[in-house]
Structure 1
């Protein structure tokens, strides 16, 4: 069990602190299935135990694969798949090569293995075995991130040495969003520029048959702490963005808010599933106050509408009948912070889209940058003027003009934050 007194030791005691965190500390004893069981039985198990993210397939005590809830449910939801697969072995939807780790593996080693194995392990979890390779239970990416977030304050030297690798990992998490963005947009740009090698800004795009979902996220901080926050947000987005709520950005924000507050212990309660959230909170203050500012947008390509919900992040747009820059104003509460109520409800705003309309989202890295002769913030007014003067140009050209104006304005002033800016023409 975790010993709170270890927190009071000097940095020389890091090895003792780390020794308390091995793979078995993340262990959750979960129901399993065997290869002889059918997909119909897996469906019943997932319906009965709705907190299960994945189900291990075990044969003679040894894990042979992992069934992801999301992949399984999506597969079985396709037309006629229940008829085709219900009576077949559950290995039809099994990942035959999940991450399998020994219970005594250190968190440091485990975190690199999880990151190296890709997004699937962050989303679907990993299998924990005993010294003989027999199945013990599962660990989740979310729980691992909580522990790593706690330990990273004690591991600045190690994180610094690994920073270049972390940058590659963070960029790899953005790859699928870039691919979907290219698939659904013709004239657009996405500028992502961390202040440091890694950062706390994150963008997300996912295409669907009837449209696409966009999000631009500004997590607390920048550098390594901000990057860890983006991993949390990326994992949560993949889990909450399903068929029922992708059309409801405000509802998705509400779910995200609850997940962040629970994961980071920003409530005066104990998390479910036996995880004591207090043990992962700040050693100095006893509680973190982290979260994100963001804009969630659902673009319905069938009826030409955009549904927007913002947490302190506005949406700028210019219609094709006027060059005036207009805004959809956000709600003034961020996601996940201590002062944001657990049951806070954001507001959906709907915008009819017409061909040629230009839409823009930006984190506050540009707006709040100090510079110019008066050494004041760049500001929304200056940003809007740039949009108004250049919106008829192709989007990539607009990106170059806006960013050059930003760099010129910053001059020799210190960069304040990560910078993310996107624009697209409908």
Structure 2
């Protein structure tokens, strides 16, 4: 029986019908595989074409962004040159003070901080200001501030420190207040400190809008604080206090914006703070002013240690006598 079944199976496989069916199956399978491979190839080519188009579009957009970024950077660099031209020139400052430094570090290319040095009628004028914001908005405000302080001191010949701030406030009110709406179109303000020093008596007048002045004498630091109000913070009737301090030979004055003290960094990512700023200024006050500027830069660089700069920085150091 087993032998008979085996013989029948062999004959069945030798049947032309079975062979034909097998051949048809193989052909169909091969055709299916070929079609499937062709379909996969088409899908792959389509996907590659889409990716190539996408990459081409990305390259085009990247090129456009690079052009726009270059145009923006070029514009900002030109704005920086304009801003630098408005600030007192170094040769002008050297005619007034032989011993000074200016640590000036914008957050972006242009700065919302500005400073002013001038001499008139036997008096020295030193000012430091911090406009609200940084970058382009702060820089535009600082250019307005520079033009106004030049006008107030040199043209209007205002000699009292509190009146300089008050006049600045009125001039900004005139520029930003619109009668039709009855509202100010700009509500941002300027933090500012100003010292006016009589060359003969060495009496210094100081007024500040938030910003103070530090005076170092005989390894001691004295602080005269500013009022807790901005210039142009309010267009209502405002006033500023005026303090006096008699300077001596070798006294050092430090005026600054809040950017240095507010910078985050250190091992715990905290603000530098005014306490540290007072300590470092008192510590380095015995060094030449050029070295003081370098130490201030190295100190804040070490403090930041990978953290982004959050605001414009400015510190002025002056030895009037």
Between the aligned partners of 1:366 and 1:186, the Cα distance in structure 2 is 25
Q: Is the 8 A contact 2:214 2:222 kept in 1?
A: yes
Kept in 2, the 8 Å contact 1:264–1:277? The answer is no
Moved over 4 A (4+): 156-161, 242-245
Matches within 5 A, 1:233-252: 233-242=145-154, 245-252=157-164
Listed one character per residue, the Cα deviations across residues 230-258 of structure 1 (whole Å, up to 9, x for unaligned) are 11111211222247754201011011112
In the alignment, what sits opposite 1:304?
Answer: 202
**What is the DSSP-based 3-state SS (H/G/I as helix, E as strand, rest coil) of the residue aligned with 2:87?**
helix
C-alpha distance after superposition, 1:282-339 (max 9, x if no partner)? xxxxx4321210101101111111111000101011113xx121100110001112xx
1:400 is displaced (CA, Å) by 0.9
With 287-296 and 391-400 compared, the bigger mean Cα shift is at 287-296
Aligned 8 A contact 2:227 2:240 in 1: yes
Whether contact under 8 Å (1:219, 1:291) holds in the other structure is: yes
Aligned residue for 1:211?
A: 123
Cα shift at 1:277: 8.1
CA distance in 1, matches of 2:287, 2:151: 37
For residue 368 of structure 1, the aligned residue among 259, 262, 270 is 262
Show the counterpart of 1:324. Answer: 220
Q: 1:173 is matched with which residue?
A: 86
TM-score (norm 2): 0.73
1:380 corresponds in structure 2 to 274
**Are the structure 2 counterparts of residues 224 and 296 from structure 1 closer, same or farther at C-alpha, using a change threshold of 3 Å?**
same
Q: Which has the higher helix share?
A: 2
The answer for the alignment partner of 1:420 in structure 2 is 314
**TM-aligned CA deviation for residue 342 of structure 1:** 3.0
What CA deviation, in whole Å up to 9, does each residue of 1:171-215 have, x standing for no partner? 111144x33321121221011111111110111111124021111
Deviations 1:139-162 (A, max 9, x none): xxxxxxxxxxxxxxxxx9976551
Alignment check: 8 A CA contact 1:253 1:335 kept: yes
Query: 8 Å contact 1:260–1:291 — kept in the other structure?
Result: no
What is the CA RMSD across the aligned residues, in angstroms?
A: 2.3
Please state if 1:231 is matched with 2:143: yes
SS in 2 for 1:325: strand
Residue in structure 2 matched with residue 347 of structure 1 by the alignment: 241
Report 1:23-172 matches (<5 A): 161-172=74-85
**Does the Cα contact within 8 Å between 1:263 and 1:277 map onto a contact in 2?**
no
* Paired residue secondary structure (1:334): coil
Q: Is the 8 A contact 1:167 1:198 kept in 2?
A: yes
* 2:114 counterpart residue number: 202
* 2:179 aligned partner: 270
Bigger-Rg structure (1/2): 2
Distance 1:204 1:298 in 2: 11
Return the TM-score normalized by structure 1: 0.56
Q: Distance in 2 between matches of 1:422 and 1:343?
A: 31
Gaps of at least 5 residues in structure 2 are 1-68
Higher normalized contact order (CA 8 Å, seq sep 6+, divided by chain length): 2
Q: 1:236 to 1:243 in 2, by over 3 A?
A: closer
Q: Which runs of 5+ in 1 are unaligned?
A: 1-155, 282-286
> Aligned equivalents of 2:175 and 2:73: distance in 1?
25
Aligned to 1:336: 232
Deviations 1:11-66 (A, max 9, x none): xxxxxxxxxxxxxxxxxxxxxxxxxxxxxxxxxxxxxxxxxxxxxxxxxxxxxxxx
The SS at the match of 2:274 is helix
